[in-house]
Structure 1
Amino acid sequence: MQYPLIFDGHNDLLTRLMQAGGVGAIDTLLQSSDGAIDMPGAEAGGFGGGFFAIWVPSEIDASANTAAMQGDDGYDMPLLPEVPMEPARRVVETQMAILTALEEHGLVRVCRNVNELRDTLGSSAMAAICHMEGAEAIGTDMSGLGDLYARGLRSLGPVWSRPTRFGHGVPFRYPSGPDIGPGLTEAGQRLVTECDRLGIMLDLSHLNEAGFWEVARLSHRPLVATHSAAHAVCPHARNLTDAQLDAIAETDGMVGLAFACAFLRPDGKMRPDVVPDTILRHLDHLITRLGEDRVGFGSDFDGALVPYWLDNIAHLTRLRRALKDHGYDDALMEKLCHRNWFRVLEKSWA
């Protein structure tokens, strides 16, 4: 086991398992797999758990998008329409069932407070926060939100990148800033208020800039982006500007650095030949703007193309080595790996 253990801000394992056959695919995690997350990798790489995202996919031509994002002239990926509520609810129920089955198999423990996270980190099970990426399964009257909270939901991104009845996200566009169109709708504003009341952390990663500032105005909780990167290093629409980072710092919030190659590379390309120095540039910038207590990791494992040397959680040892070689001391390493997440969640769920 590697120390300090890493608690990660975002993964898409539940979507991967759903697409591989659902609950029946869980046994594949017991051995090394083609995906980023499996149990041998967790042991070898010191992966203690993280935010397990429930996500409703759109029908997209992935190969065409990949080709466009590897070109030389920038890109602007078209966003498909909102997924209707009933199909979205079916996907949410499917992925909730997978998360429940993972817990029944002893592979994760779904944690509802920070004490449970601390107790689980380092055990035989991965510590899991139930996160939902996009609110299309929730009614504009907030129907369904209370039930999801009772079942363990503790983190919610109001939108994924496509526009919905709750607001507008950022497209996959390079080069671009995040100031793209309107932000939250009236329903989105009510969603922010209700999440604050319940103690569901709001994730700003896919919101456009207008939505970001509306959450900053409406919410009394720390501002958090679970899987984003620094716009100053990579001018991608999905990345956070210095003004946004300063606002996050003012609320004592948090950013988890995404490992998605297109958000890391200064050229915005979705190619895996990303050297460790590129990740370190983002971390240095985030720490400079936010302070060392407000930065962690938000890999996007199993949901994005990540650097070739980080394609399985077993390889997180390589990340720690790069951080140490860069001069990060033991105290900062522990903060980045898990302490900062626990700190901000304690404030967000209080």
Structure 2
Amino acid sequence: GVWSTTSRPKTRVFADNNAAPGTSASDSSDTTTDSGDFVQVSRLGNPLVNEAVVPANLKDFFNRSTPDTDAKFLAKVQDPEVPILIESVYGIPNPNKLEGNEAAAKRNDLVAAFLTGFSKDVFSGATFGGLGKGVLDADLNSLDLNAVSPNPAPAEYLRLNVNVPPLKPGDAGYSRLGAVGGDLSGFPNGRRLQDDVVDIALQVLEGVLVRPAGDLKTAVAGLGDAVDANERERPLLATFPYVADPHTGSDPRKGQTPVSFVQSFTSANGTVTAQARNITPAAKGGFAQLYRINPDGSATGLGSSQISEDGTATVTKTFRVAPGTRITLNWRVFPARGSAAQENRGVPTTITVR
């Protein structure tokens, strides 16, 4: 199994570098300096766990935690918020309330999916103290199948049994719903890019694995976001990183080419002049950010300049540095705030300040 984390320096300080004003009245001369140990600010194993299972007041706590302590989230996994909200809005009964159904009442389906994995021993209740009992009778991806883990603990991470033959779209038995659709080579046994994890998570949260047969289970099995293919508009790539470029969301410049520009850096008498010119197309409402590249590869912002509404084609910033200093700089130009998908970065350029 695998899980990943995102970390950032503990402290970020904003300071004014007394830079000369740029080309816009809204020019910023702030610099940012990061320092301190890196601290974990996010974690990811199975998709949608923090978004759909962990309650709002524990999301930050979950993001800075580690899987070896996940047993403390058991009660929240057994009583997630989403079914409560769906019942209140759409009237679909919360599966936690199914009378005489132990697997549903204890949400063994969610416990197995997110904390224990699936195996025949999990199904029978022989491991994990009975957590996950009675859901899926298959040796799939539980840690109790691993000989090096004689006493596995419940933990949330992405599990994969490489002994299960993989299936791809078009193969007999393939389902975009993974194990929910009878395809044990799909999510939650790993996660293929074609797995429709939103539909899978929604159906599992609504109890598709533990509800008795009937009209309600059939209805729950049809829940989804009406997007049944992740590659409908942008096909997956045949080589790493395999995923296609993301959509630009609400970017009003959708369909246009990303901005391009030419950058230059000169100095005289300890004053550095950094310029981004020939910004094409003129990025109305966008901004240009100047960065100093540090020896460790990190970047320190040296201020940004708002590009005027009529599409200013040149942005200039000046600042003081001791003569003889070697610095590495680059510009990054954005077509609009929040539109990082079309960000264009200049090549880091090193100069010796005159």
Q: Identify the TM-score tier after normalising by the shorter chain.
A: under 0.3
Q: Relative contact order (alpha carbons < 8 A, sep ≥ 6): 1 or 2 greater?
A: 1
TM-score, normalized by length of structure 1?
A: 0.24
Radius of gyration: which is bigger? 2
TM-score, normalized by length of structure 2?
A: 0.24
